[in-house]
Amino acid sequence: VGDAFIAAVYADKRDVVRFLHATGIVSTDSFQTAFEGAMRVSNSNTALCLYSFKRASVPMLNQRLMEKERENISTASISTAFKRAARCACPDQANIVKFLYTQECISPELIGTAFVSAAGWGLDDVVELLRTDARLLLESVHEAFVAAVCRCQVQMVKKLYSQQSI
């Protein structure tokens, strides 16, 4: 069932994905593999479908990270999920960034990528959160200022400028 579930996700067959998931026998590993694959396509409706199952929700990710005996999410998977979420402007993706940024496997470069993207999209809460992270590089702050200017995010430009780190 796991291989069929993954194949249905990659083929963007949401009806099949829903059916197989409803059986209750899709393993966590298969779900994780399928979710990562769906996240590779930034506009994937199947990724949203998987997210709707609440197996990949922020509270569920938190619970699963705390319960190491039930599931071991690799650092590569966490980094990949963070990187994909950092590129998007939707609230669910921003919540994933806010949840995963504390993980040690998130590099300064990925923190910077998320910071620049959040500034460009005008996501104040993400910018404020990442701005205080010790891994944030000054170069990323400069890039964020430029991104905010390029996307006409006037309030973000003012906020970044007023912090005098530009």
Per residue of the chain (166 residues), give pLDDT as tens.
889 998 988 888 889 999 999 999 998 888 888 877 776 665 467 777 787 777 765 554 454 445 434 445 788 888 999 999 998 878 888 889 999 999 989 999 999 999 999 999 999 999 999 999 999 999 999 999 999 999 999 999 998 888 765 5
Nearest to 35 by CA among 66, 71, 67, 69: 71
pLDDT at 71: 45
**Which residues have a Cβ under 8 Å from the Cβ of 75 and sit 6 or more positions away?**
103, 105
Q: What is the pLDDT of residue 111?
A: 96
Residue with tokens 């705390």: 66
Whole-model pTM? 0.55
Task: Identify the pLDDT of residue 68.
Answer: 39
Q: What is the pLDDT, as a whole number, of residue 157?
A: 92
Q: What is the pLDDT of residue 62?
A: 54
C-alpha–C-alpha distance, residues 118 and 16, integer Å: 34
